[in-house]
Each structure stands twice: as structure tokens, then as C-alpha cells.
Structure 1
Amino acid sequence: MSDHSERDLLRELFPETARELFGDGRAPQDTVGLYPVADGRLALVSGAQLAEFTPLDPKGNKALHCDLCHYTRSRSEAAVYRVVVGARRSRYLTLCLNTEACQQRAGKSGVQTLAERIFPIESPYVE
């Protein structure tokens, strides 16, 4: 019985083929991002975690400060969102309506910081 697997032999003898078949061996990067979904809602994804942001009806006409990119926006360019983070607990955030441009301004570290404020989400049910 051999001490070497097929994968080990391919990596040793044919490294390019092994990279094509099995990848380069690096750990996969966590996915972090804010994505628009139906009805104006947004989904924040961080690895295997998911949070849904629900827009609130606009009230007033004052400018809003985006919690992600930290730009001040008019009511037509930003909205207030609610995300449920636990049983009877919600967080309220102001975000730009153009999420793609907002994420570019904030950068990956800005989106990661937002995810750290939201996650981990507790069970929404009271035990």
C-alpha cells in the first residue's frame, strides 16, 4: 500500500496540472459585500452569514449621513434601513441607494467594519 495519494503524486510530478485540478492550495477568501435584492432591500453577506436590510419609509427632508462610506447625501440618494439582529432587537443604518458606488468609496475595510457591527446575528426567536 502506497503512502502517497494521487493528489500528492500530481503535485510532485505535474505541478501545473495539480493547480488546474485542485487549485493553488490557498484558503478561500471570505465573501464580504452588500447586494441589492427585491423591493429595495439589501443583503449583507459576510462568509456564511447573511443579514437583510429593510428600507424604512422616508420621513422628513433632511440630509442623511451614510454609515458605510461616510458621505452626506440628500433624501433622494440615501435611505434608512432596519436589520433585525436578535429577538426584539434591531439596528438602524443609513446607506446610500447606489450601493455599488458606496462600497467602492468605503473600500473592503469599510464593508468589513459594517459587517462586524451587524454580525453575529442572534436567533430571532425568544426561547
Structure 2
Amino acid sequence: MSDHTEHDLLRELFPETARELFGDAHIPRETLGLYPVADGRLALISGAQLAEFTPIDPKGNKALHCDLCHYTRSRSEAALYRVVVGARRSRYLTLCIATESCQQRAGKEGVRGLAERIFPIESPYVE
């Protein structure tokens, strides 16, 4: 009896077909997403890069426009966040509090666009 599986045979004899059917396990998948962390903070992860979004205390009662999904939300549904991107440099973004549904509305390209606006983050220390 043979110790080879169908998967092994396809990978060896027909590598392109195996990649189409099973994917390539040797190619690392890009990690991309916005995740809630403790104390109302958010973490944006893109590959090996990480940015932390810190919520800012709300002032006023006006509606906010989400920079990710581009929906206008009330103060109870959106928040203003600050992310440090370099020495004495910060970016301010408005994001929905319900991050999962916001990312679904924005899609993968929307999250990738947000990551391109934030990354690369420089060293926060002045040399």
C-alpha cells in the first residue's frame, strides 16, 4: 500500500493545480485587520506592523464620519482615535465603535487603504 496521498501526488506531478486547489502552504498569508484591545483601544495589524489607536474623550455632540467605512455615525456609534506615527507626530481618525461590522462594510481594500495611511510608523524617539 502506498504512503502517498492524493494531495502529495498532485503537489509533485501537477504543482500549479495543487496550488489552485490547496493553496501554497509555504507562502505566508498577510495579516490585516483592526482589532479591539483593552480600555477601548484598537490595534491595526498589517503583516508584522502594529499600530495602537487610543480613544480621545468626546467633545460636543455632532455626528462623526468614519474614516474606514465612510458612514456617518452618531457620537454613541463612533469615536475619535489618536495613533502616534513618529516623533512628535500623530494622526487622528474617526472610526466606528463596532469594528467588526465597520471592517465588513469597508472590505479588505478599505482596511488596506487605512493601513497604507498609517504605516510605516517611525521611531517615537528623537535621536
Question: Is residue 94 of structure 1 aligned with residue 85 of structure 2?
Answer: no
2:119 equivalent in structure 1: 119
Asked if residue 28 in structure 1 is aligned to residue 28 in structure 2, the reply is yes
Can you give the 5+ residue segments of structure 1 that lack an aligned partner in the other structure? Answer: 1-9
Give the letter aligned to residue 36 of structure 2: P
What amino acid does structure 2 have at the position aligned with 1:123?
Answer: S
Cα-to-partner distance string for 1:63-92 (whole Å, 9 max, x where unaligned):
000000000000000000000000000000
Spell out the pairing of 1:77-88 with structure 2 (5 A cutoff). 77-88=77-88
Q: Over the residues paired in the alignment, what is the CA RMSD in angstroms?
A: 1.9
Q: Following the alignment from structure 1 to structure 2, what is the Cα–Cα distance between the partners of residues 29 and 103? A: 18
Question: Cα distance 1:124–1:50, how it changes in 2: closer, same or farther (>3 A)?
Answer: same
- Gaps in structure 2 of 5+ consecutive residues: 12-22
C-alpha displacement of 1:16: 2.3
Q: Which amino acid aligns with 1:88?
A: R
Over 2 Å off, 4+ runs? 13-19, 23-26
1:53-72 aligned at under 5 Å gives the runs 53-72=53-72
TM norm structure 1: 0.83
TM-score, scaled relative to structure 2: 0.83
What amino acid maps onto 2:39 in structure 1? D
Question: Could you tell me which residue of structure 2 aligns to residue 38 of structure 1?
Answer: 38
Alignment correspondent of 2:7: 16
| Distance across 1 between alignment mates of 2:54 and 2:8 | 47
Q: Give the 3-state SS of the residue equivalent to 1:104 in structure 2.
A: helix
**CA offset at residue 24 of structure 1?**
3.5
Distance across 2 between alignment mates of 1:44 and 1:59: 24
Percent identical among aligned pairs is 81
Letter in 1 for 2:99: T
